[in-house]
Amino acid sequence: SGADFDLFRLSEEHEMLREAVRSLAEAKIAPFAAEVDEQGRFPQEALDALQANELHAVHVPEEYGGAGADALATVIVIEEIARVCASSSLIPAVNKLGSLPVQLSGSEELKAKYLGALARGEGMFSYCLSEPDAGSDAAGMKTRAVRDGDFWVLNGVKRWITNAGVSEFYTVLAVTDPELRTKGISAFVVEKGDAGVSFGAPEKKLGIKGSPTREVYFDNVRIPADRMIGAEGTGFATAMKTLDHTRVTIAAQAVGIAQGALDYAKGYVRERKQFGKPIGDFQGVQFMLADMAMKLEAARQLTYAAAAKSQRVDADLTFFGAAAKCFASDAAMEITVDAVQLLGGYGYTRDYPLERMMRDAKITQIYEGTNQIQRIVMSRNLP
């Protein structure tokens, strides 16, 4: 019956959301994308525009004051922002990453307080898992939390923390029992203003230059015991469950970057004339565009399928989240490299947006778990 085929078509609400986010992104975010990259500054214009339109953390459920967007709607928001500015797309993406541990495992009090504050635009949320010596091996972390009466005292260093310094709230993973490895890790909410929290110098990166990446230092940070997210020893499982959902948002970011590059290249080959005709009339160029569009569409379909699993908390989510992130990021890298190629020398200059898109695409193969780690995750969770 016809109803079965609706699975492969977005709902009218999702299509309308895409149009609304696309016009907002083109009007309020795209004009600053090159400048944000060039100056390596935070895209405050994007944050303001997204907050004014309740698009900064769409995943927060309505009961906590959020827009209550489903996983697919969240993907569409991130995709459309990334299409014009990858750095800005980290606002909704990392707000989800940072706050999802609270949403999945936190007490009602924590959810009301912190998801509410996030939804109201009182502060963004970052996610502190990685450390200088614990990247792919996340469970090898050294940051320690020690109980002291009604408080926990945190000490340690987190590295590669997206939006560090601009976020108010931080989900922090720390060792509460060093004997138990993954079962001895717990999750906490730490606020930027908590005494003993400080930040390192911004990393000097290849891309996503508008999104600050800094170390976060915890020096005897004393927080109330009720800031623990879920039960003691469940932090690692919460961190991994979170990544199952949010790897889908990185896939969305990759799809958006690739769409931006393809759209630009498509326009360019119609205008650019060599040998007396538009270069888009040459079959060599047409074949490149066909391959780019094919890879992009495959990446998008896998990403949307993963979003559907994320929404239903399907048993195959772990595989699909990893597969979507891995496939879409590899596709985005190939597509943006080819888009630069189609513009020739112009593509290699900062007068055109494609070299930025190519640099921004690279991180999607690395963060939220390298694509080599995704293959480990996939092979352990084959559908």
Q: Is 369 in the site for ligand CAA (CB under 6 A)?
A: yes
Total residues in contact with ligand CAA, by rule CB under 6 A: 25
Contact in structure between 360 and 339 (CB atoms under 8 Å): no
Residue 368 as a binder of ligand CAA (CB under 6 A): the answer is yes
| Contacting range for ligand CAA; rule: CB under 6 A; set: 29-37, 52-60, 66-74, 238-246 | 238-246
241 binds ligand CAA (CB under 6 A): yes
Nearer to ligand CAA, 95 or 336 (CB): 95
Residue 169: count of CB within 10 angstroms of its CB: 22
Position 170 contacts ligand CAA (CB under 6 A): no
Q: Would you state the structure tokens that stand for residue 292, as one six-digit string?
A: 């780019």
371 lies in the binding site for ligand CAA (CB under 6 A):
no
Residue of 30, 47, 75, 129 interacting with ligand CAA (CB under 6 A): 129
Distances (CA, A) of 303 to 116, 229, 298: 28, 28, 9
Residue nearest to ligand CAA (CB): 369
Task: Concatenate the DSSP letters of all residues of 336-368 into one string.
Answer: HHHHHHHTHHHHTSTTSSHHHHHHHHHHHTTSS
Residue 94 in the binding site for ligand CAA (CB under 6 A): yes
Cβ atoms of 155 and 111 within 8 Å: the answer is no
Stretch that binds ligand CAA, among 134-142, 202-210, 255-263, 343-351 (CB under 6 A): 134-142
**Shortest gap between Cβ of 370 and ligand CAA (angstroms)?**
7
CA atoms within 13 A on the CB side of 225: 9
Contact between 237 and ligand CAA by CB under 6 A: the answer reads yes
Q: How crowded is the C-beta side of 26, counted as CA atoms within 13 Å?
A: 6
Q: How far apart are CA 158 and CA 308, in angstroms?
A: 32
Distance CA 321, CA 52 (A): 30
Residue ranges in the chain assigned as alpha helix (H): 2-5, 12-24, 30-39, 44-52, 71-84, 86-105, 108-110, 116-119, 235-271, 283-312, 317-342, 344-347, 354-364, 371-380
Least Å distance between CB 97 and ligand CAA?
6
Q: Is 215 in the site for ligand CAA (CB under 6 A)?
A: no
Contact yes or no for 256/83 (Cβ under 8 A): yes
Choose one: 165-173, 191-199, 265-273, 362-370; the region binding ligand CAA (CB under 6 A).
362-370
Select from 74, 88, 130, 167 the one that contacts ligand CAA (CB under 6 A).
130
Q: Compute the chain's Rg from CA coordinates.
A: 21
Query: Which of 69, 60, 63 minimizes the C-alpha distance to 169?
Result: 60
155 interacts with ligand CAA by CB under 6 A: no
CA distance 46 to 30: 9
Q: Residue 121 or 233: which CB sits closer to ligand CAA? A: 233
Closest CB to ligand CAA among residues 295, 359: 359
Is residue 103 involved in binding ligand CAA (CB under 6 A)? no
With beta carbons less than 8 A apart as the criterion, state whether 188 and 154 touch: yes
Q: Which of 79, 131, 355, 368 is catalytic?
A: 368
| Whether 368 is catalytic | yes
Residue 236 binds to ligand CAA (criterion: CB under 6 A): yes
Quick check: 182 binds ligand CAA (CB under 6 A)?
yes
Q: How far is the CB of 156 from ligand CAA (least distance, A)?
A: 15
Q: Which stretch binds ligand CAA (CB under 6 A): 31-39, 46-54, 202-210, 370-378?
A: 370-378
CA dihedral 139, 302, 330, 260 (to 10 degrees): -120
Residue span binding ligand CAA (CB under 6 A) among the ranges 50-58, 99-107, 339-347, 364-372: 364-372
Tell me the closest approach of the beta carbon of residue 356 to ligand CAA, in angstroms. Answer: 18
Using CA atoms, how far apart are residues 228 and 22, in angstroms rounded to an integer? 38
Among 89, 143, 318, 329, binds ligand CAA (CB under 6 A): 318
- How distant, in Å, are the alpha carbons of 147, 196, 216 from that of 228? 11, 18, 18
- Which residues are catalytic, by number? 368
Query: What residues line the site for ligand CAA (CB under 6 A)?
Result: 94, 97, 127, 129-130, 136-139, 160, 162, 182, 236-237, 240-241, 243-244, 318, 367-369, 373, 376-377
